[in-house]
Chains A and B, each alone.
Chain A
């Protein structure tokens, strides 16, 4: 035999009670609605930002190591790396001959220059000197035109490939291919436009759409080779474990720099995952803040619901007496009021989710792509029901313990 009376009946009884006090119920759910909106939008925004970030940094390639003077992500003082030497072009060449498991090596260097087309100027644009190997180490591809070729590099061609944002901001509706533009004082011919990467710039990450690629050789003759710091991207050959490859790269670099076994590395090995990790840290803090706000509003909402439930229990003392007289046990009364409080909160939760869909649609339109995932909806509903159970428990317990004769005498 079932231990407890029919849940459909219990649910119906709860709905009857809530319907009898519609406006009061709706007001009570406000705190819950806000709490649920907070939880859903925080999670959705975090997901959206996360996806977007990962998408844009994916251009760096997950199996590519970047050797550079400083780590991309570090804690503490920037100046701790000041004694490190710049990476040199010839170190890249030595690395190229030394590494056995590398598929490709791509040295790059960069500088910020104002760029100009006709009368329009963009300030402090990242100019990157690179080689045709960029196409191997990075997943990004040109959307129109072509990328730099080995021939461009060898013959120091003054050609460039621009990011999608440069095209938009500098050329507008004009077709940029074969147009001549100024990088600092030098004239370069546009040969390609890169596909849009989506900006990771919102967390201080690199903005891959706002940069210009030029042959590394022409870069050095235009902007100088003295005191230049290089980055070296090294991509592992297929089937090589990245950790092993990293070990090989570190060993090779130490050999090139002639470090003694007791000396620390005076260079850094970076990879995409470090950016993702750093991003996750920042996002973690934001999510925690969101959850604290959620917690506070659910708590306030829960207190409101508790208050209403106390009122409801007192108002219905006689009804409780009647229910007990015809055979309701403590547990039946307890569950009746728990059903009522969780249904109130569930209604608040559903309102909150509906509202969140609206807000998300707005975010989608104005800020970034974001979608509410099914697990988030599920979590939100669960959270609202749990809030209902927590806030309804004390009033429901009080109701369940009422003495039937005294409850029946209550006027």
Chain B
């Protein structure tokens, strides 16, 4: 089991107003699943991502990530869990503009206290996986949008996390480049990673094997995609 949330809710308080971004959600995701979270704007997708990604803690409910109960952890413990088990890919890439590709990708390893020699090997490997070895010493502003997102993916997978989260990874890219990025994510999934992505686009969601629909802070549906059905058929035959 990669993760397991039970009766999770998230309440934002703004002055006297309360927003229930998530209301009593339970969900299990297995290792090496490929999950897309969809839903209208304001339905709670990002809130769910943040909780699953250990960036935020739920108001009520429990959350087990692999064998750890993360629902009660403090800031630094969560940071440690994120560093060891989670990789993030954001819609807006969120690279450090001053640092070159190598140093951006290396960053999680620095925070993970990996020794320099080992850092170099792991960083080079991650950059190679996304095909940017020849750009390793370029700054983000010298790269195209697709390349930047590939750097972000390399950064997300550099410390071999259990799960990679991607919040609208193709939202800022044209469709061709978006497909390219999805190709990389598909590859990571085939290589054994668990991938959870948030998207608005049906076409992107079709890359996943499971689609979870949110509406008003609740899971409306949880379905297996055609692609998963196809793979299963291959397996069954």
Contacts from A to B (Cβ < 8 Å): 1-2, 4-6, 8-9, 12-13, 16-17, 19-20, 318-319, 321-332, 403-405, 408
Contacts and interface: CB of A to CB of B under 8 A. Distances in A.
Contacts of B60: none
Contacts of A403: 56
Interface in B100-147: 103, 107-108, 110-113, 116
Give the most central of A327, A329, A330, A404: most B CB within 10 Å. A327
B79 A329 contact: yes
B56 A405 contact: yes
A332 B108 CA distance: 12
B79 A408 contact: no
A334 to B, nearest CB: 11
Given A325-B88, A327-B83, A9 B110 contact: yes
Given A19-B98, A330-B75, A405-B55, A323 B116 contact: no
Contacts of B75: 329-330
B94 A322 contact: yes
A327 B112 contact: yes
B137 to A, nearest CB: 13
A250 to B, nearest CB: 72
Contacts of B113: 1-2, 4-6
Nearest to B167: A408
B79 A324 contact: yes
Given A5-B110, A408-B55, 4 more contacts: A1-B113, A12-B103, A325-B94, A326-B111
B158 to A, nearest CB: 9
B110 A16 contact: no
Interface of B: 50, 53, 55-56, 75-76, 79-80, 82-84, 87-88, 90, 94-99, 103, 107-108, 110-113, 116, 155
B141 to A, nearest CB: 11
A322 B96 contact: yes
A404 B108 contact: no
What is the predominant secondary structure among interface residues of chain A facing chain B? Answer: helix
B154 to A, nearest CB: 12
A149 to B, nearest CB: 78
A6 B110 contact: yes
Given A405-B55, A405-B56, A327 B111 contact: yes
B80 A329 contact: yes
A65 B55 CA distance: 80
B98 A326 contact: no
Nearest to A10: B110
Given A404-B55, A405-B55, A328 B98 contact: no
Contacts of A16: 98-99, 103
A2 B110 CA distance: 11
B83 to A, nearest CB: 3
A329 B111 contact: yes
A326 B107 contact: yes
A323 B84 CA distance: 14
Contacts of B90: 322, 408
A328 B113 CA distance: 10
A318 B99 CA distance: 15
Contact of A326 (B56, B88, B97, B103): B88
Contacts of A8: 116
Contacts of A1: 113
Nearest to B93: A322
Contact of A17 (B50, B84, B98): B98
A405 B53 CA distance: 10
A326 B108 CA distance: 6
Nearest to B94: A322
A8 B117 CA distance: 13
A323 B112 CA distance: 12
Contacts of A322: 90, 94-96
Nearest to A9: B110
A405 to B, nearest CB: 5
B87 to A, nearest CB: 8
B208 to A, nearest CB: 22
A326 B83 CA distance: 5
B147 to A, nearest CB: 18
A323 B108 CA distance: 8
B107 A20 contact: no
B94 A327 contact: no
Nearest to A407: B55
Contacts of A20: 97-98
B123 to A, nearest CB: 12
B79 A327 contact: yes
B76 A326 contact: no
Contact of A330 (B76, B87, B96): B76
B111 A328 contact: yes
A404 B50 CA distance: 9
Contact of A5 (B50, B53, B111): B111
Contacts of A19: 98
Contacts of B76: 329-331
Contact of A319 (B79, B96, B108): B96
A301 to B, nearest CB: 24
Contacts of B55: 324-325, 404-405, 408
Question: Closest 6 A-B residue pairs measured CB to CB?
Answer: A327-B83, A327-B111, A16-B98, A322-B94, A326-B108, A329-B76
